[in-house]
Amino acid sequence: MDEKKLSSQVVKRLPRYYRYLSTLLQLGISRISSKDLGNRMGLTSSQVRQDFFCFGGNGLQGYGYDVGFLHQEIHKLLGLQHSHTMIIIGAGSLGHALAKHANFEKSGFKLAGIFDVKPELIGEKIRNVEVQPVDDLPDFLSKNPVDIAVLTVPENCAGEVARLVADLGVKALWNFSPVELMMPEDIIVENTHMIDCLMVLGYNLQEKSLREESLKEKP
Amino acid sequence: MDEKKLSSQVVKRLPRYYRYLSTLLQLGISRISSKDLGNRMGLTSSQVRQDFFCFGGNGLQGYGYDVGFLHQEIHKLLGLQHSHTMIIIGAGSLGHALAKHANFEKSGFKLAGIFDVKPELIGEKIRNVEVQPVDDLPDFLSKNPVDIAVLTVPENCAGEVARLVADLGVKALWNFSPVELMMPEDIIVENTHMIDCLMVLGYNLQEKSLREESLKEKP
DNA sequence: TAGATTGTTAATCGATTAACAATC
DNA sequence: TAGATTGTTAATCGATTAACAATC
């Protein structure tokens, strides 16, 4: 069915479309034009049509797109009909926050375990999942297949932990440590570097104030 | 000095270069070639040279780039010599985690305040910053100019809070709520949608398993 | 000097936008 | 029918890669 692979840019937009279509459904809106959707999401209508065309646009000329159908289609594309298992390694404040994040479970990402090295954290229950010692990971992973490992460990051990779980069969890593992970080709890696986001914000803030200054000087 | 505006793709890579160069400095490595740096970061040497060329590449033919100088240069480009003030709105687990994130302060992002609506959270101190009622925001912002507001509030009030702080003079928003914020042009918005990252991971996992299946069928 | 590696232009690739016939 | 809006191709734009003379 989904013959052609979608470009990475389109894939990145899929969750946004999905979220937006969910909102529309909740509002009871069952049809939308590419122009409307684009306007609301800050995209051109051309891009919306082109994107939907990639996975078999199901619009109706002169009418627009069926919100429910589109929603379903993207649901399938994203593989949300299947659930994924996930473990969190590093039960610090960020690990806690992610473990408590309600939306993950709703979208089929099931938290199977939380791990840490600190003895004082072991045994604590977060959302019914107990924090276990990192040393138990090999044993745990041999019994429970896990798709995604979330790395919320300190910078200096991220690489080591990543290699460990990759060797133990975890297929994908979601890395929050501000380091470049060097992983074998077949391991899927997604980085969320918070500090990078802030720095880009900082750059844009600086750009903006420089622009404003030069406007003042040469009016 | 920095005459031409950098393309957004280059800006996004700057923090990564910066981080990588920091590591090299710590290792006592003071010179690197575009080939080497590219290899380690998963970029082509061509791209590295092209990127550095944008902001006045300072390499030496036959020799490579001076790590220290490059590091300094990107530091300046990112505006890290200036510090930025930041408030966090929403003192839930994610707000907590971000407030405790040590790297932010190190890079010049100073936490000036934390706000929430829940009475039981008011008064709690996180890293020496007290949680204040959201109702005090107008008063607080009139006395303390703030560059960045971090939104870690529930989905249903993100839009409202965003408009409020934008009206009160905050220049940039770092939004963690899974909603599209409609903001005036001059407000800088950076979105970090955790669930989107997971969904992209999920898509890639599905792609991978489909590829592997079809390999098994037709060998 | 010979080898290495940059600076910089040109070529290629990919993504976005424009255009418009098809058709609901 | 007339108006709206898609599907789809072509044009444009931007980003990445290739190439190579310059030069350390």
Q: Which positions in chain A touch B171 (Cβ < 8 Å)?
A: 205, 208
**β-strand partners of A132:** A115
Strand arrangement, sheet containing B129-133? B125-126, B129-133, B109-116, B84-89, B148-151, B172-175, B188-191
Q: Give the whole-number percent of chain B exceeding pLDDT 90.
A: 87
Query: Does any domain span residue B41?
Result: yes
- Cβ-Cβ contacts under 8 Å between A and B: the total is 182
Whether the CB-CB separation of A31 and A63 falls below 8 Å is answered with yes
Can you give the pLDDT of all 219 residues of chain A as single tens digits?
344 589 999 999 999 999 999 999 999 999 999 999 999 999 999 999 999 999 887 888 889 999 999 999 999 999 999 999 999 999 999 999 999 998 899 999 999 999 999 999 999 999 999 999 999 999 999 999 999 999 999 999 999 999 999 999 999 999 999 998 999 989 999 999 999 999 999 999 999 988 887 777 765
Tokens at B155, concatenated:
């989905």
Tell me which of B210 and B81 has the higher pLDDT.
B81
Residue B48 CA to residue B67 CA, distance in Å, equals 13
Q: Inform me whether the C-beta atom of residue B118 falls under 8 Å from chain A C-beta atoms.
A: no
Q: Inform me whether the C-beta atom of residue B188 falls under 8 Å from chain A C-beta atoms.
A: yes
Residue B4: pLDDT over 60: no
Entry field: residues in chain A: 219
One domain for residues A64 and A114: no
B77-127 confidence digits (pLDDT tens): 999 999 999 999 999 999 999 999 988 999 999 999 999 999 999 999 999
Query: Does any domain span residue A218?
Result: no
Judging by beta carbons within 10 Å of its beta carbon (0-12, 13-18, 19+), is residue B50 exposed, middle or buried? middle
Residue B201's pLDDT band, with cuts at 50, 70 and 90, is very high
CA of B117 to C1' of D15 (A): 45
Q: Inform me whether the C-beta atom of residue A97 falls under 8 Å from chain B C-beta atoms.
A: yes
Residue B169: pLDDT over 90: yes
Domain boundary among A34, A53, A77: A77
Nucleotide nearest to A62 (CA to C1'): D5
Residue labelled with tokens 């995604």: A148
The reply to whether residue B104 touches residue A171, judged by beta carbons under 8 angstroms, is no
Domain harbouring B18, CATH code: 1.10.10.10
What mean pLDDT do residues B20-24 have? 96
One domain for residues A100 and A53: no
Which residues of A are documented as binding site for NAD(+)? 90-95
Query: Does any domain span residue A219?
Result: no
Residue B21: pLDDT over 90: yes
State residue B219's pLDDT score.
55
Domain harbouring B132, CATH code: 3.40.50.720
Residue type, B217: E
Whether the CB-CB separation of B47 and B17 falls below 8 Å is answered with no
Domain boundary among A77, A93, A126: A77
CA of A21 to C1' of C17 (A): 23
The reply to whether residue B197 touches residue A201, judged by beta carbons under 8 angstroms, is no
Residue A136 CA to residue A115 CA, distance in Å, equals 8
State residue A4's pLDDT score.
57
Query: Does any domain span residue B205?
Result: no
One domain for residues B174 and B124: yes
Query: Does any domain span residue B106?
Result: yes
Range of the domain at A24: 8-77
What mean pLDDT do residues B203-216 have? 86
The reply to whether residue B201 touches residue A172, judged by beta carbons under 8 angstroms, is yes
Q: Inform me whether the C-beta atom of residue A205 falls under 8 Å from chain B C-beta atoms.
A: yes
State residue A213's pLDDT score.
79
State residue B146's pLDDT score.
98
Domain count, chain B: 2
Query: What is the b/e burial string over A46-70, where b = at least 16 CB atoms within 10 angstroms of the residue's CB?
Result: eebbebbebbebebeeeebbbbeeb
Task: Looking at the complex, report in whole angstroms how far the Cα of residue A139 sits from the nearest Cα belonging to chain B.
Answer: 23
One domain for residues B100 and B70: no
B7-17 confidence digits (pLDDT tens): 999 999 999 99
**A-contacting residues of B 49-68, CB under 8 Å?**
none
Query: Does any domain span residue A205?
Result: no
State residue B218's pLDDT score.
63
One domain for residues A100 and A191: yes
One domain for residues A67 and A103: no
Query: Does any domain span residue A172?
Result: yes
State residue A218's pLDDT score.
63
One domain for residues B184 and B136: yes
One domain for residues A60 and A95: no
B52-66 confidence digits (pLDDT tens): 999 887 888 889 999
One domain for residues B149 and B184: yes
One domain for residues A42 and A112: no
What mean pLDDT do residues B191-204 have? 96
State residue B113's pLDDT score.
97
One domain for residues B185 and B132: yes
Distances (CA, A) of B206 to A5, A187, B192: 12, 13, 23
One domain for residues A40 and A107: no
Task: Looking at the complex, report in whole angstroms how far the Cα of residue A26 sits from the nearest Cα belonging to chain B.
Answer: 13
Domain boundary among B28, B62, B77: B77
Query: Does any domain span residue B70?
Result: yes
Tokens at B87, concatenated:
């408030």
Q: Inform me whether the C-beta atom of residue B179 falls under 8 Å from chain A C-beta atoms.
A: yes
